[in-house]
Structures are given as C-alpha cells and as structure tokens.
Structure 1
Amino acid sequence: MDGRIKLSEETLKLQQYITTQEDGTELSYLEIEQATGIDMNERGKQILRRGIKRARREYSTIRGYGIKLACPETTLPILSGKIIKIDRCVKRAEKTHHTLQEQFFSQLSPEEQKQILFAGAVFGAIRIAAENGKLIYKRKNAEEAQKYNEIKIALPDIS
C-alpha cells in the first residue's frame, strides 16, 4: 500500500510540474529530475508519461535527451506518429483477416461473408489514411530532424 501512495505522490508531482510548463517547451530528463527529485530511469519515465497524461498534455520524445511538449508546430508530427502506430496494428489485423478469409470464407453464411468483406474494407481505409499521414509526416519530419541533430545540454556557469 505504501508503494502505491508514493507512486501516486510522484505522479501528482510530475503532473503539477508539467502543468506549469509552456507549450513547446523542451525538457531534458536531467532538468525534470532536478526540478522534481524523481529519478528519470525507466520507472521514472513511466511515471512521467502518466503525469503528462493526467495533465492532459501531449508531447514528443527527443531520443536520448528528453521530451518536447506539444505546440502548433508539433501537432502534425504527433498525430502522424499515432497514425503510424495504428497502421502497424492494422497491418497485423489485415494479415489475420486475409488468412481467415482464405481458410473459412466459403464456410460462412452470406451475412457473415458481408461482414468479413466489410472488415477488409475498413482495414483498407485505415491503411490508406495511415499512408497519407506518413507522407505528411515525412515532409514535416525532414524539416524538424535538422533541429534535433544537435543535443542541447545546459552546462553550468563556472565563472
């Protein structure tokens, strides 16, 4: 029980911290750790994700550095990333659909056959939408990638 209470306190602390940040703010894991006192190991990052979700904020990950809170410029890349994840799941479901249709379509009732064909059309529509999303993301991502080629690490002032 004590572990749950501590976890909840950490989640609330991170939620509060994220709530105070402006849209588009880049936060390194080190900055978050120093500001909140919560280690940004795997467990801490999971708590951070939970805190961001509870704060009703979206973000993108800057690999090996930290996060960037959503802003107008990151809206399309974030949405396209979600579409790409959906596309991966739909690809697998589409393969399952194809396999089952090959094996059992002739044994199904006419109503079930209609439902199988409809499901295939739904998978196709989702895949087309995902491909369009990928194209939009690739154009936008090429511009954004240049910004993240350099890792920005704040160095302490030693003067």
Structure 2
Amino acid sequence: MLRYIAIPVLLMSFMLSACQTSMLKQYNKVKAGMEKDDVLDIMGSPQRTQRFHGKDRWTYVFYDQRIRFEKEVHFFENNAIYVGDIWQPEESKSAFAMDKANDQRNVEIDSQIAKDLETHRRAYESYESQARGTDKVRYLPTFEPIR
C-alpha cells in the first residue's frame, strides 16, 4: 500500500523539480522589442513599477545561487526599449550634479542682483541730488563774524 502512494509522490516531486529554472536564465530570454505581455509570460509580475515621461520601468529582484540581482525592463508604447541592470543617469545629469550646478547659478544670480541694487541706489542718489540742485556749487557769501 505504501508503495502505491510513494511512487506517484516521488514522480510528482521529480516532475516539479525539473520545471524549476533559474530566474537569471529566464531574464536572459527577455530582449528589447518584446511586448509587455511577452515579458510577463517569461518573468511574471515585477516587484516594482514606475511611470515617468511616458515610459514604464519594471524592476525585477531575484536571487540566483545566493547572489541578489536587480534587473530592469523599460517600455515605451508597450515595447521594451531597455533590458539590463538598474539604469543610472550620467554623472553630469544626476540630481546631485544638477542641484550643485543650480546652487552655483543661484549664487551668481544673487551676486549680480546685489551689484545691480548698488548701481541703482547710486543712480537714484545722483538723480535726487540733480533734482534738488545739491550737485551744483552755489555762491555762498562769506560773512565776517561779529566782534
């Protein structure tokens, strides 16, 4: 009796173990130009999705022989346009570099505003003195002090 139960269980375990494939091997089947449905058939649902500037970004996280992999597939108009490791922008286009450039530009703008403010203040003082006539030397009589 035990033999009749053990043989089917043993056969099922062999069949199921043969169906397991490496996620890395499955991921290597994904190519640029594939549609979303094809990628879903191969890889299954992604762990993370993002939509940015009309592009979908799917991230898959999996382990193969105790090594952690994070891979991405980018889609534009339902077709894969990028397949590979996590995409990072160029160093010059990163948020940190852009913030640093913007901070430098803001410092330059602030110093220019300060210079313009001083120039305008001096121009206004000059205009005021001309309007009041204080910029011209007037004849002042000299008085002899009384003794």
TM-score between the two structures when normalised by the length of structure 1: 0.30
* Structure whose alpha-carbon radius of gyration is higher: 2
Looking at secondary structure, tell me which structure has more strand per residue. 2
Looking at secondary structure, tell me which structure has more helix per residue. 1
